[in-house]
Amino acid sequence: MGEQQYLANLGITALNEMQQTVSSSYNAANDMLLLSPTGSGKTLAFSLIIQKRLQDDANGKIQALIIAPTRELALQIEQVLRKMPNHPKVTCLYGGNDLRTEKNKLKEAPQILVGTPGRIIYHLERHTIDLTQLNTLVLDEFDKSLELGFHEQMEQIVSETGSPFQMLTSATELEEIPPFLTLNNVETINYLHEKGYAPDLTFRTVTASPQNKLKALLKLICKLGSEQKTLIFCNHREAVDHISELLADRDVIHDVFHGGLEQSDRELALLKFRNGSTHILLTTDLAARGLDIPEVDAIIHYQLPYKQDAFVHRNGRTARMQAKGTVYLLLKPDDDFPYLTDAMEEEILEDEYPLPSNSKMTTLMFTAGKRDKVSKGDIVGYLLNLPGIAKDDVGMIEIKEKNAFVAVTRSSVTTILQKGNNGKIKGTKVRILRS
């Protein structure tokens, strides 16, 4: 019954095959290794195991720990876990978050802790968390954590945990499991090559000289038009910023996402891409896996990664779970990447294409959130009471702790800002700002 309630809370009618296999294969005596592509639902899969293992009589100790390689992934996991029945206390720790807030939340130990390696160690060293009574340890996107150099940090954390049930997840095959992890009777569940889980991708190449590469990218963006949700990958943040300048000069709406940005700016960029305010997101490999970016139509590799694993993970952002997607590779005439073995069709670009039109939606920020007990229904009701605002003018709403972000049609923005500012929702005076 608990599992069905969990799915209902998440708005899901049924588990997929991989998630069913994970749930039915669980045995407390066997640690688990889950290999499944990006976007296949690994977060829900391991949270089902955590749900089975939570105990009511844990004496105020942390029961489950999930280690994630990036703060965005940690935050995404937290949101899924918060939908569990019986509302277990969940705390998320990550770099860039307010330390005073984290310490206050840890005064009473959460049942479930999610975090990035560095921030977990920060709290371990200051004795604000105790992992000695841990019964479940999940290392999510374990291969990515190793790739990012978190080996020693994870080893230090694991050494503090005693002998919990362990579950590793990965979107690639693992060559070996480091010796600091002692896994017991490992149950391996591998969906990397299962039909319906591997992405259905079409690959196309665009060949351009170094001096014409940026021009070729702009042509491709224009050819794809305004309705294609497109991720453009670069190897370095400087390239992301350079392309951003080009698009900004031509008033092409887009966002950027890389490690040089403030956390709030990164979260807002992903939010606007999710809600349809932007259809183009320029990024480094930071967005290559584990993030909640659904329904991407096209991937463009402006710069190809050096390793095949990174190439696979980038491509996994599109064609998720039986959808289709197209991958475009911008190549110089002398490029030679050993992992590109199959012949690919060349994408023909004509001389001129019109610039993509603006997205239909844009995002407004409301200065009220969860702490003010504001719901999505409250915001919708407030907007529909404004003169001239119709149901179709309001899109996706995401409510944060202190504010809410609302996708609205561009044509409705002036009316909302003029008529809706400084009104009250649930007794709280609300300002509405462009974001």
Domains of the chain: residue spans and CATH: 2-190 (3.40.50.300), 200-346 (3.40.50.300), 361-434 (3.30.70.330)
Burial class (CB in 10 A: 0-12, 13-18, 19+), 56: exposed
Produce one character per residue of 41-53: b if its CB has 16 or more CB atoms within 10 Å, e if not: bbbbbbbbbbbeb
Round the CA-based radius of gyration of the chain to a whole number and report it: 23
Closest CA to 290 of 401, 142, 149: 142
Mean pLDDT, consecutive 10-residue stretches, the chain (435 aa), reads 83 91 94 88 94 81 94 90 91 90 92 95 95 95 83 93 93 83 92 72 91 95 90 94 95 92 89 93 80 79 89 73 79 89 85 90 95 93 94 93 94 95 92 94
Instruction: Please check whether residue 233 is in contact with residue 314, taking contact to mean a CB–CB distance below 8 angstroms.
Output: yes
* Tokens at 273, concatenated: 């891409």
Q: How far apart are CA 363 and CA 388, in angstroms?
A: 18
Closest CA to 25 of 56, 52, 5, 1: 52
Q: What is the pLDDT of residue 157?
A: 95
Q: What is the pLDDT of residue 307?
A: 85
Q: How far apart are CA 21 and CA 33, in angstroms?
A: 12
Q: How far apart are CA 248 and CA 282, in angstroms?
A: 12
* Tokens at 399, concatenated: 């409510």
pLDDT digits (tens, 9 = 90+) for 238-296: 999 999 999 999 999 999 999 888 888 988 999 999 999 999 999 998 876 656 676 78
Q: How far apart are CA 222 and CA 240, in angstroms?
A: 18
Closest CA to 148 of 268, 67, 78: 67
Q: How far apart are CA 89 and CA 61, in angstroms?
A: 11
